[in-house]
Chains A and B, each alone.
Chain A
Amino acid sequence: MPKGIAVDNRGRLKERPAMSDTNLLLTITVVVFFILYLYAIIFLGGSFAKPQNFLNILNNNASLIVLACGMSIVMITGGIDISVGGVTCLVCMVCAVNLEQQGGNLFTVILIGLGIGLAFGVVQGFLVAHLGIQPFIISLAGMFFAKGMTTIVSKEPVRVTNEAFLAVKDTRVTVPGLGSYNKLGQYIPAYVEVGVVVALLVVVLLFCLLRWTKLGRAFYAVGGNNQSANMLGINVRRTKFLAHVLCSLLAGLGGILYFLHVGSGDVANAAGDEMNAIASSIIGGTLLTGGVGNIAGTFFGVLSLNTIKRIVASLGFDQAWWSNITVAAMLCLFLVIQSIVLLRKNKK
């Protein structure tokens, strides 16, 4: 396998020499995902082969996809943001309270979600980009702040009964051409939720943003090397600031999608999602040191992470703790792979 990648890598080197790491890591991710899924289909029975089962990975992780995309952008600029899970949780709770106790509607929910995200992004982005504070410390504080605020808003879980909201929540978008027959022989079309459509739209938009816009290229330049980006005339501080704003804004959107999926505000919502987002990004080939990464890779990272979680669960390790240990092990494995890739590159 490494030989094949090397050839692929060499072939593309002629076209885009600066992006070779991105392509190498993206290839690893896509290959890992397909191997995992094929393994699951072949050895773990037919349930993995049903289209709906695959689409359920998307249904359950629409918010995670959005969070991971935001995380990738921040990581490409060389930063990190671990407040995204907390922001998601806070957005869920505030939206639920707004809908249930303050007579809000769908419009206010969207406004609140994006507003909270924007507020976190502006503060964190300012502190990181303009005051030069380590992003980890700031976003750690942001995470604790968001979680503390969630319990201040409401300690009890808030279930939403708003009809307009539930109608959107239960809307199913059927996917043409996919479906399966149940035991009675009825044809059941495969569906995705509204959130998945939004998440996929975000993935496509961000992919284009990173690949073809000036701002997107600036993210890579800043992450690759601050000083040379500065010499190229890129405003480094502004770029970093925008990356953090974008990430937190996406965390706000992720919060709305999470809320749309679970339909309640709860202190335990999105617990550990910052970890899942970071792990997805890293598995997707985003380098922690910045400058390397790809939104498509992140998307496959989310899929790989959740596929392996399901595989571990269906192998009989279905206790709750195995899920966390699996994520941590995947994270560790890919961190080490990255580190080796970097060390090898530095030695050349």
Chain B
Amino acid sequence: MTTPVKNPETQVKRPDESLFKRLTRQQLFIPVAALVLLVLFNLIADPSFFAVSMKENSLGNPVLSGNMISVLDNASELVILAIGMTLVTASSGGQDISVGATMTIAGSVILRMVCGGQVTADTMQMNLFLAVFIGIVVTAFFGAFNGALVAYFNIQPMVATLIMYTAGRSIAAWINNNQLPIINDVAFKYAGTFLPGIPVPTPIFITILMIVIFWLVLKFTNLGLYTQSVGINPNSSRLNGINPKLVKLLTYVILGVCVAVAGYIRISRSGSINYSRNAENIEMDAILAVALGGNALSGGKFNIYGSILGAYVIQFLTTTLYKYEVPSTALPAYKAVVVILLVVLSAPVVREKLASIKKAPAKAVKEVA
């Protein structure tokens, strides 16, 4: 964590709790605290959770394995989605709940391309990069559709994306004529598993690449500034020469690109697709990651690194729950409780009340973890 910003007011009034207060005011306080609590819990309950070992995978290559590796590996899709979702949240003050469905569309398109329309294919029928590029174009189009409804028709983001949330998985099934194509080419699975000779899962590299790309984009372009200003006040940003509708549309298209990359990683893990189960409930996790990262769900200022950290924390939580044999279908119930606690904690009314009570924030954060 960076050094806390000093707040002279609290120091003067309550010198005894200034450090604690300064800590809780940090945007990254909640995800870091949640991460620390999760790590402590796992350390106490079972230190072997953190063990990392070398194992041979099905192809006979030595690869790293262990819970920590699986957290970093499995969080990849979520991290990539969280980046796009943060931008969408910041610009439009709402979230895209269709990401799981459009990820399935991306997967379906890419599979159809590489299988060449057949049900099973042993070798790829099309250049992989071209297939992924087509997937990106398709989901960027769906992103533009969502963005147009939000920006030009003034429909609430979550209701506008409800359309794709309903239709997305059906469209994905339609693209492949409801067949379940399977690709057995090893090269197709490189992105979701391991590159030959490298013991670290490939999705981790892709995620790092995406993070670096967005770091560069935010550093060298005005995208971040424009997004924030549109989210804070569209009218005044229009008066300052920014086109708020275009910026909103753009963030949805960017999310569409992120969705395609995430969708590609997801299907290349297995080389097959299940339309109703692929990336199920991931929209919930992505929104949760944005909220956990300390971003206001009502838009405006954002911190993309908070969301990334939030995504890893969620995957950590998921892996921990799996380890204690919570069935995957029951997971949403636990996560829903976490979401409700988080939004309650970040509600202005509650914040004001918490600010007047000394120890309350620490107690509440423990409940979250």
Give me the interface of A with B, judged by CB distance under 8 Å: 80, 82, 127, 130-134, 136-138, 140-145, 147-149, 151-152, 155, 267, 272, 275, 278, 288, 319-325, 327-329, 331-332, 335-336, 339-340, 342-343
Contact = CB atoms under 8 A, between A and B. Distances in A.
Given A321-B170, A328-B163, A335-B149, A127 B333 contact: no
Interface residues of B, number: 46
Given A324-B167, A342-B154, A149 B160 contact: no
8 contacts: A82-B162, A133-B343, A137-B343, A147-B332, A149-B333, A155-B329, A275-B166, A343-B154
Contact of B155 (A132, A151, A324, A335): A335
A339 B153 CA distance: 6
Contacts of A288: 155-156, 159
Given A131-B349, A155-B329, 14 more contacts: A133-B343, A133-B344, A141-B336, A142-B336, A144-B333, A145-B333, A147-B332, A148-B329, A275-B162, A275-B166, A324-B169, A335-B153, A336-B153, A340-B153
Interface stretch (B171-179, B181-189, B203-211): B171-179
Given A144-B281, A151-B327, A335-B159, A324 B333 contact: no
B337 interface: yes
Contact of A132 (B160, B167, B336, B349): B349
B354 interface: no
Interface in B143-160: 149, 153-156, 158-160
Closest 4 CB pairs of A and B: A148-B333, A328-B167, A321-B170, A145-B336
A278 B349 CA distance: 29
A212 B164 CA distance: 38
A130 B347 CA distance: 10
Interface of B: 94-95, 97, 149, 153-156, 158-160, 162-167, 169-171, 173-174, 178, 281, 284, 287, 297-298, 327, 329-337, 339-340, 343-344, 347-350
A74 B331 CA distance: 28
Given A151-B327, A339-B153, A331 B162 contact: yes
User: Main SS of chain B's interface residues?
Assistant: helix
A231 to B, nearest CB: 22
User: Main SS of chain A's interface residues?
Assistant: helix
Contacts of B327: 151, 155
A340 B333 CA distance: 38
B339 A141 contact: yes
Contact of B334 (A131, A142, A148, A320): A148
Contact of A321 (B174, B329, B335): B174
B204 to A, nearest CB: 28
A335 B160 contact: yes
Contacts of B154: 339, 342-343
Contacts of A329: 167
A222 B153 CA distance: 23
B330 A151 contact: yes
Contacts of A133: 343-344, 347
Contacts of A131: 344, 347, 349-350
A148 B328 CA distance: 9
A148 B165 CA distance: 19
Given A144-B332, A275-B166, A329-B167, A321 B159 contact: no
Nearest to B291: A137
A331 B337 CA distance: 30
A140 B333 CA distance: 11
A238 B350 CA distance: 18
A335 B156 CA distance: 10
